[in-house]
Structure 1
Amino acid sequence: MNLRKKLRDHAEVHTGALNDILFILLLFFLIVSTLANPNVIKVSAPKGKSDTKAKQTVVISIDKNNQAYIGQKKISLDDLEKELKVVLARETDKPSVVVNADTAGHWGDVYKVLQTAKKLGASAVASVSAN
């Protein structure tokens, strides 16, 4: 009768420290992703009473110096129709244009952008901030 226990080594990987590191990285990326803002151009938008969100196919920003941007690309308002036509041609669904304008900017330019977008067949929205 063999009374000795058979001693076998079991290969074991300690993952306690790895779990801690992965948890910290997950928290870091979650926090950073909530702070990311797709609107790169800083504008002071007017305040509105209700918050309506439109699907932002194309974002046109107009800053307080009346400089226009499609996304991050600076454009002149004279070339707006040509540049916007190129961007809207890439869209498969009915495109929507969101105009992000500074309150100190000239709102006649915003109106021009909205009319140009409608002329090209896109739905146009002027973005305002909710209170």
Structure 2
Amino acid sequence: MNLRKKLRDHAKVHTDALNDILFILLLFFLIVSTLANPNVIKVSAPKGKSDTKSKQTVVVSIDKNNQAYIGQKRISLDELESELQLVLSKGAEKPSVVVNADTAGHWGDVYKVLQTAKKLGATAVASVSAN
């Protein structure tokens, strides 16, 4: 017969609440990461009446200082065609180019980007934000 008492008690840590919090944080960061688009330059886009979405293969941004960007890479408008052709050659079967331009920018540059994209065989869309 074993009459000795156990001298050591095992310490228990209850982690149920911690698991719930970690699960909620994981879901939050997953949802936020799908909403974030790292290839966007901040521009003040003009307002439109309808909201049409296009699959964004390539995003070209033109800021208020008339500086052009493909994704995050700054380019000059003179080298636009060669850079755009390089990016479109890596892309999908039916590429599309979305142009985000600031309202204070020169819209002649937007037209140049749209014409260059059409010349290279891509679908070109100028992005406007809905009211």
Distance 1:92 1:40 in 2: 20
Superposed displacement of residue 13, structure 1? 8.7
Superposed displacement of residue 91, structure 1? 1.3
Number of corresponding residues: 120
- Map of 2:17 onto structure 1: 17
Instruction: Please give the TM-score of this superposition, normalised by the length of structure 1.
Output: 0.82
Output the amino acid matched with 1:84: L
Q: Secondary structure at the match of 2:125?
A: strand
Output the amino acid matched with 2:40: V
Distance 1:91 1:35, change over 3 A: closer
Q: Does 1:101 align with 2:101?
A: yes
- Map of 1:117 onto structure 2: 117
Distance 2:83 2:109 in 1: 15
Q: Secondary structure at the match of 1:69?
A: strand
Superposed displacement of residue 35, structure 1? 5.6
CA deviation digits over 1:30-66, x for unaligned, max 9? 5633662444311000000000000000000000000
- Kindly indicate whether the alpha-carbon contact (under 8 Å) linking 2:40 and 2:61 is maintained by their aligned counterparts in 1: no
The two structures, once aligned, show a CA RMSD in angstroms of: 2.1
- Map of 1:53 onto structure 2: 53
Distance 2:17 2:24 in 1: 11
Instruction: Please give the TM-score of this superposition, normalised by the length of structure 2.
Output: 0.82
Distance 1:49 1:70 in 2: 26
> Which structure 1 segments of 5+ residues have no match?
1-11
- Map of 1:44 onto structure 2: 44
> Which structure 2 segments of 5+ residues have no match?
1-11
- Map of 2:71 onto structure 1: 71
Identity of aligned residues (%): 88
CA deviation digits over 1:68-124, x for unaligned, max 9? 000000000000000000000001311000000000000000000000000000000
Distance 1:108 1:87 in 2: 22
